Amino acid sequence: IAGITQAPTSQILAAGRRMTLRCTQDMRHNAMYWYRQDLGLGLRLIHYSNTAGTTGKGEVPDGYSVSRANTDDFPLTLASAVPSQTSVYFCASSDTGGGGSDEQFFGPGTRLTVL
């Protein structure tokens, strides 16, 4: 069982380019999340999805979009990358999305550098 996979592992991207980070889970979890991790700032929620077909904005959604066409996949798109989006991106999932009481399972992360 893989759990959560993310691709690519790392990427260097020119500013202004479009980029999609992929996330797939095989646990049939309803809820999925995207976080960015920056030194000294911990993990900040970008977007989330409580169930397939629905998405919501987190703490830092600007410059990012997501979609949830099915249960397993939750891609994160940067329409026009900027250097401030240089970060480590983690995808996570939980069995349900309500109440913030479920354990979250994290993928291995994608290290993105925007030049």
Partner 1 sequence: GQQVMQIPQYQHVQEGEDFTTYCNSSTTLSNIQWYKQRPGGHPVFLIQLVKSGEVKKQKRLTFQFGEAKKNSSLHITATQTTDVGTYFCAGPNTGTASKLTFGTGTRLQVTL
DSSP single-letter state for residue 87: E
With CB under 8 A as the contact rule, which of the stretches 19-27, 63-71, 76-84, 100-108 interacts with partner 1? 100-108
- Out of 30, 36, 48, 68, the only residue in the binding site for partner 1 (CB under 8 A) is 48
Instruction: Judge contact between 44 and 35, C-beta under 8 A.
Output: yes
CA distance 85 to 69: 25
Q: Strand 10-13 to strand 110-114: parallel, antiparallel, or no bridges (unpaired)?
A: parallel
Site string for partner 1, 5-34 (x = CB under 8 A): ----------------------------x-
Which residues of the chain form beta strands (DSSP E)? 4-7, 10-13, 19-25, 31-38, 42-49, 56-57, 64-66, 76-78, 87-94, 105-106, 110-114
Residue 104 C-beta: closest distance to partner 1, Å: 7
With CB under 8 A as the contact rule, which of the stretches 7-15, 22-30, 70-78, 104-112 interacts with partner 1? 104-112
Residue 80 C-beta: closest distance to partner 1, Å: 25
Contact footprint for partner 1 (CB under 8 A): 33, 35, 40-45, 48, 50, 56-59, 90, 92, 97-101, 103-109
